[in-house]
Amino acid sequence: MTIWLAVIGAGIGCYLLKLAGLSLPPRVLEHPVVERVADLIPVALLAALVAVQVFASEQSLVVDARLAGLATAFVLLLVRAPFLVVVFGAALVAALIRLWT
């Protein structure tokens, strides 16, 4: 039930954030600190999400097949592979490593 609450609540919240952007006067962005922080938030959050998804296992840090998946993704991004290839390529490498170890 609480997962439903998060899904609906955050979904509506994300819509309101979009609507606010189209409705607020653009001068809100004229404060340089607001602009820089707003701009750096996705960088910091996405980087933290990468790290936690790859190394965290509940409360501990581990190195496992997920790291090989991330390395695969890194290489695929370097050669400008499309999103789907990057994501499923990482999954494939992690699955193969688990199969052979």
Judged by CB under 8 A, the residue of 50, 63, 79, 100 near another protein is 50
Q: Is 22 in the site for another protein (CB under 8 A)?
A: yes
Instruction: Quote the longest CA-to-CA distance of the chain.
Output: 57
Around Cβ 95, how many Cβ atoms within 10 Å? 13
Q: Is 40 in the site for another protein (CB under 8 A)?
A: yes
Rounded distance between C-alpha atoms, residue 78 and residue 100, angstroms: 27
Q: Which of 63, 61, 60, 82 is nearest to 71 (CA)?
A: 63
Task: Determine phi and psi for 60, rounding to 5 degrees.
Answer: -120, 165
Q: Is 29 in the site for another protein (CB under 8 A)?
A: yes
Judged by CB under 8 A, the residue of 63, 79, 89, 100 near another protein is 89
Judged by CB under 8 A, the residue of 63, 79, 82, 101 near another protein is 82
Judged by CB under 8 A, the residue of 63, 79, 90, 101 near another protein is 90
